[in-house]
Amino acid sequence: MVAQKRQKSCASCIAAKRKCDKARPFCRRCEDKGLDCRYAVLIRRAVAKSSPSDEPSEIPGHVYFFNTHVSSLSASASSKLWFMTPETWNIEKANPRAPQIPIPVFRTFVQRLQDWLVQWIHDGQCPFIHRQLYADGFFPSCMQDAFSSISIQQSCNSSNQDLTARIIQDRANSLIKNNWIEVGSSNLMSMAVPVLDTSQHLARVQALLIYQILRLFDKGVWQQTRAEESMPTLLSWCQQMWDSATLDSITTSQATPDFIVNENSQQNDSNSNNFTPRLWRLWILSESIRRTWLVVMATISAYRTMKDGWCGCAGGIPFTARRSLWLASTSSQWATICWTEDPLFLPYLGSRATLESCDPNEMDDFGFSFFSLVWGPEWVECWREGHGVRPLAA
């Protein structure tokens, strides 16, 4: 079950000394007045098997942890939670006989990672940080610091490189110091934590991941050494994030057993459409966690391979590869695509036959980059060219 404090009214109602109906994601008063509806964070502790009757924990802003409102979803809406089935959170082990990824392939991948960080500060989104993930006033301070650190490194030159490195290093140290949480057990069903909600786990993992990308592939040996020392922390936080998401999916499955997408459900079902924004937010958080996990593991593999010449594969998970779903700007646009098109929810370590059956014109840069690691850039380019897609930039 999930033990937690009693739910409190939203911040706006408390400040105005008005009664709050505590509805999510917006209470009725804030929704009517167009106010920013936010709830205080309450600590939750997973102490045993989750029960469908347990209330969801509080989380800030409008991006909420998986179990929020699931119990109140209509049958037709809950049936569309294809991305939340517990089995999709199982990590598939890599084939021990799989060939090692060549160092030049990893170098190209690292360049893409660095480009993605720059894309985030310029466009407000990149292939593993969704535009809506930190929207609506929810932008954790740890991600704000990471955001500005990318900008600082972009201004780095021979005259200020030592100062720039010190700023980034101090921010990484501060992040680890202020966000470290001891874990009682790694066993999912007997965890004494997480004391963070899933969105908070994701934020601190993404922040530390950004610092690792900035430092691991920096030319300065001092930066790389400090980043190597942070590697166990990143892996630990990533595991805690994944455990929290998996625990949420188990709780969700108990509350709403029907997960399979019902292709016969009516798209105009008004009761289902009322929950479309919530489903969209759930998917954004779910997909962000999946993509962040993959980037973390690929970043570590790239660095260790480039340094030592070899690194084992951490495994694979499914992710949504359809470009239009990731770039959808509204919940209705997302829902229309989601219920009328194949979302391309593909296993990272799936077979070539699975990938060949897909149209590369519908896939985003994230999918191309990661499938290039698995099958090699030459095979992916041939697959793309066979469908008339322009080559990937080097």
**Chain segment 317-356, per-residue pLDDT in tens:** 999 999 999 999 999 999 999 888 889 999 998 888 888 8
The per-residue pLDDT for 84 is 87
Average pLDDT score, the chain: 78
The per-residue pLDDT for 34 is 61
The per-residue pLDDT for 70 is 37
Checking if the pLDDT of 192 tops 80, the result is no
The per-residue pLDDT for 23 is 76
Checking if the pLDDT of 268 tops 50, the result is no
Question: pLDDT-derived band of residue 222, with 50, 70 and 90 as boundaries?
Answer: confident
Residue 219 carries which side chain, given as an amino acid letter? K
Q: How far apart are CA 317 and CA 332, in angstroms?
A: 27
Per the domain annotation, does 201 fall within a domain? yes
User: Is 218 within 8 Å of 165 (Cβ atoms)?
Assistant: yes
Per the domain annotation, does 23 fall within a domain? no
Q: Kindly report the CA angle at 117 between 113 and 119, in degrees rounded to 5?
A: 110
| Nearest partner of 294 among 262, 321, 330, judged by Cα | 321
Q: How many domains does the chain have?
A: 1
Q: Record the pTM.
A: 0.75
Per the domain annotation, does 67 fall within a domain? yes
Mean per-residue pLDDT, 74-98: 72
The per-residue pLDDT for 40 is 62
Per the domain annotation, does 270 fall within a domain? yes
Mean per-residue pLDDT, 189-193: 41
Mean per-residue pLDDT, 248-261: 60
User: What are the b/e assignments for 51-81, b being 16+ CB within 10 Å?
Assistant: eeebebbbbbbbbbbbbbbbbebbebbbbbb
Q: Which residues contact 205 (CB under 8 A, 6 or more apart)?
A: 234, 237, 238, 241, 292, 296
List the domain range (segments joined by +) for residue 222: 41-385
Q: How far apart, in Å, are the Cα atoms of 86 and each of 67, 163, 280?
A: 13, 46, 18
Q: Which residues contact 317 (CB under 8 A, 6 or more apart)?
A: 88, 89, 90, 91, 92, 290, 293, 294, 347, 348
Mean per-residue pLDDT, 374-394: 77
Cis preceding-peptide flag for 25 (omega within 30 of 0): yes
Per the domain annotation, does 268 fall within a domain? yes
**φ, ψ dihedrals at 77, nearest 5°:** -75, -45
The per-residue pLDDT for 11 is 77
Question: pLDDT-derived band of residue 168, with 50, 70 and 90 as boundaries?
Answer: very high
Which residue has tokens 């829902």? Answer: 335
| Nearest partner of 241 among 210, 213, 212, 204, judged by Cα | 204
Per the domain annotation, does 53 fall within a domain? yes
Which bin fits 124, alpha (ψ -120 to 50), beta or left (φ > 0)? left
Q: How far apart are CA 206 and CA 296, in angstroms?
A: 9
Per the domain annotation, does 159 fall within a domain? yes
Checking if the pLDDT of 264 tops 80, the result is no
Q: Which of residues 352 and 214 earns the better pLDDT score?
A: 214
| Nearest partner of 187 among 67, 4, 48, 66, judged by Cα | 48
Question: pLDDT-derived band of residue 196, with 50, 70 and 90 as boundaries?
Answer: confident
Q: Which of residues 11 and 111 earns the better pLDDT score?
A: 111
User: Is 212 within 8 Å of 230 (Cβ atoms)?
Assistant: yes
The per-residue pLDDT for 390 is 60
Q: How far apart are CA 382 and CA 391, in angstroms?
A: 9
Could you say which DSSP state residue 219 is in? S
Residue 61 carries which side chain, given as an amino acid letter? G
The per-residue pLDDT for 249 is 87
Per the domain annotation, does 375 fall within a domain? yes
Mean per-residue pLDDT, 60-68: 34
The per-residue pLDDT for 297 is 95
User: Is 255 within 8 Å of 71 (Cβ atoms)?
Assistant: yes
